[in-house]
């Protein structure tokens, strides 16, 4: 059995980090589906593929919400938080080989961190761009991205506004944060307060309030 592990939502200022693992006997069926890096697939096609992947593979998902990320980053790096989630997914699936998309610039170090968190022998292959090189990681990327997109839609519905993708580079997200700060004087729910973007925007909002 082999599995692939990837994440969606590492960099956003809003929303969760979703880590997904996909396990199969071999990747032949995934190749037939035509899976590839989730960023290269339309949202509609991602949803179709995610359903197909779930029908032929075992899937495990770990979700870390914005508050969990902020708490975790008090004494850990984001890489360690991500490695812990990867390890939980791999442990839940129990594969013989796990292919992971490395979050660390040092691929071997990322594999070692994950391996040390798993209490059974697993051969971990850690690579940059693993979602482009291994169909089983592409499949995990698709599942993770689909889950996160759904959660962002739920956040938008809860808040009652278009929050965008949650990435700092997304104009919709920035406009929403600025409008919320202007009205409420604080960051909205589901925002990663430990992010530099969030701290900077909150600081600017407080400075404007004092000036006014």
Domains of the chain: 2-155 (3.30.420.10), 159-211 (1.10.10.460)
Measured CA to CA, the distance from residue 44 to residue 137 in angstroms comes to 19
User: What is the mean predicted confidence (pLDDT) over 173-184?
Assistant: 94
Contact 95, 136 (CB under 8 A): no
Residue 39 has pLDDT above 80, yes or no: no
How many angstroms separate the Cα of 60 from the Cα of each of 91, 115, 142, 175?
Answer: 10, 18, 13, 34
Task: Tell me how crowded residue 4 is: count the other CB atoms within 10 A of its CB.
Answer: 32
- Look at residue 209 in the predicted model and tell me its pLDDT: 52
Residues 187-208 as b/e (b if ≥16 CB within 10 A, e otherwise) read bbebbbebbebbeebbeebeee
- Look at residue 135 in the predicted model and tell me its pLDDT: 94
User: What is the mean predicted confidence (pLDDT) over 149-178?
Assistant: 96
Residue 159, both tokens: 């808040």
How far the first Cα of the chain sits from its last, in Å, is: 62
Residue 89 has pLDDT above 50, yes or no: yes
Summarize pLDDT for 57-84 with one digit per residue, the tens: 999 999 999 999 999 999 999 999 999 9
Summarize pLDDT for 6-38 with one digit per residue, the tens: 999 999 999 999 999 999 998 888 988 888 766
pTM: 0.92
């Amino acid at each position: 059995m082999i599995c692939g592990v990837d994440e969606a939502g590492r960099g956003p200022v809003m929303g969760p980090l979703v880590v997904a693992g996909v396990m199969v006997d071999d990747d032949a069926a995934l190749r037939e589906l035509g899976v590839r890096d989730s960023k290269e697939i339309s949202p509609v096609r991602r949803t179709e593929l995610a359903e197909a992947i779930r029908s032929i593979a075992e899937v495990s998902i770990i979700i870390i919400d914005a508050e969990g990320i902020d708490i975790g980053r008090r004494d850990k790096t984001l890489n360690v938080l991500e490695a812990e989630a990867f390890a939980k997914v791999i442990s839940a699936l129990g594969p013989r080989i796990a292919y992971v998309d490395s979050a660390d610039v040092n691929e071997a170090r990322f594999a070692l961190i994950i391996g040390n968190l798993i209490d059974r022998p697993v051969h971990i292959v850690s690579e940059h761009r693993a979602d482009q090189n291994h169909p089983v990681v592409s499949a995990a990327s698709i599942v993770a991205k689909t889950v996160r997109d759904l959660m962002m839609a739920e956040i938008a519905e809860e808040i009652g506004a278009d929050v965008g993708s949650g990435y700092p580079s997304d104009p919709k997200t920035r406009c929403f944060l600025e409008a919320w700060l202007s009205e409420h004087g604080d960051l909205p729910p589901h925002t990663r307060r430990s992010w530099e973007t969030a701290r900077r925007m909150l600081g600017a909002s407080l400075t404007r309030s004092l000036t006014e």
